[in-house]
Amino acid sequence: MIYLKTPEEIEIMRIPAELLSRTMGELALWVRPGVTTRKLDTIAREYMADNGGKPACLGYAGFPGALCIEVNETVVHGFPSDTELREGDIVGIDTVVEKEGFMADMCYTFAVGEIDQAKTALCRTTRESLYVGIGAAVEGARIGDVANAIQTYCESRGYSLVREMCGHGIGRKMHEAPEVPNYGRRGIGPRLTEGMCICIEPMVNMGSRNIVISSDGWQCRTRDRKPSAHYEHTLAIIDGKAQPLTTFDYIHQAIPDRFK
């Protein structure tokens, strides 16, 4: 069941989306060599709470943090820990805020200090593929059209797409129908319609698409231990096209020199 949102509900969804975007802008200032991912988690919890939001990942199906932390080969759902970030790492921060009864979900992969060209290119292509997906998400198109656009963009540049995890609808719940995969055939799946709210979140691997999930059932890494990047926006179909409710602007304002 896909819950379409009214224009009024979409206006309310902008509230958690704005808080989430600002939270990520705050975190951007802290991502540097030597910081622990637990510290980042603490900052996020405080920032969300201080601004009337709730960290929706914390306790979700037992998840132990406010942030999902994705260092290098970690694809998704890594736990915050006492491990320090190191120069040359990439770290995806994926998190969900609840406010006014609605959710917003967003991910950004950051460079820790200077990163090599291969990681820079992986992050750039992954970020671009998110916008390619957004561009394909017009009213009347099918989910398969979005998925295929992302897949084609990344694979033509030599990367692979994780298939076991996908984007999703969003609203009062973090995960609603429909599923939004990052691979697949054009012309299949549900049609995008006015009021649909979805998260598009390509997870792109430098090497093979295969993943391994840890015994705790959460933490997911590439099988070949090559890096993976991940970006995500929460979007609403308004006036015939997908409009991002979340934004990377606060991140890029916070770290203009490290945005490549």
Summarize as ranges the residues that interact with Co ion (CB under 5 A). 105, 199, 201
Confirm or reject binding of residue 98 to ligand MF3 (CB under 6 A): no
Least CB distance to ligand MF3 at residue 119 (A): 21
Confirm or reject binding of residue 211 to ligand MF3 (CB under 6 A): no
| CB burial string 211-226: b at 16+ within 10 A, e below | beeeeeebbbbbeeeb
Task: Decide which of Co ion, ligand MF3, none touches 127; Cβ closer than 5 to 8 Å per partner kind.
Answer: none
Which residue, among 199, 6, 40, has the nearest Cα to 110 in the 3D structure?
40
Per-residue CA distances from 4 to 7, 56, 158, 192 (Å): 10, 21, 36, 10
Confirm or reject binding of residue 94 to ligand MF3 (CB under 6 A): yes
Closer to ligand MF3 by CB, 26 or 232: give it: 232
Evaluated on CA atoms 157, 152, 205, 34, the torsion sign reads: positive
Per-residue CA distances from 126 to 22, 29, 200 (Å): 21, 22, 12
Confirm or reject binding of residue 30 to ligand MF3 (CB under 6 A): no
Residue with tokens 């990377």: 248
Least CB distance to ligand MF3 at residue 89 (A): 20
Cα 179 to Cα 33: distance, rounded to the nearest angstrom: 36
Cα 140 to Cα 121: distance, rounded to the nearest angstrom: 32
Least CB distance to Co ion at residue 81 (A): 21
Closer to ligand MF3 by CB, 33 or 171: give it: 171
Alpha helices, DSSP H only, in 31-100? 37-50
Identify the helix (H) or strand (E) that includes residue 92. strand 90-99
For the segment 167-196, give every residue that binds ligand MF3 (CB under 6 A). Answer: 168
Give the x-and-dash track for 112-131 against ligand MF3 (CB under 6 A): --------------------
**One residue of 60, 140, 172, 225 binding ligand MF3 per CB under 6 A:** 60
Confirm or reject binding of residue 96 to ligand MF3 (CB under 6 A): yes
Confirm or reject binding of residue 45 to ligand MF3 (CB under 6 A): no
Residue with tokens 């709470």: 49
Count, residues near ligand MF3 per rule CB under 6 A: 12
Confirm or reject binding of residue 77 to ligand MF3 (CB under 6 A): yes
* Interface contacts to ligand MF3, rule CB under 6 A: 57, 60, 63, 68, 77, 94, 96, 105, 107, 168, 201, 232
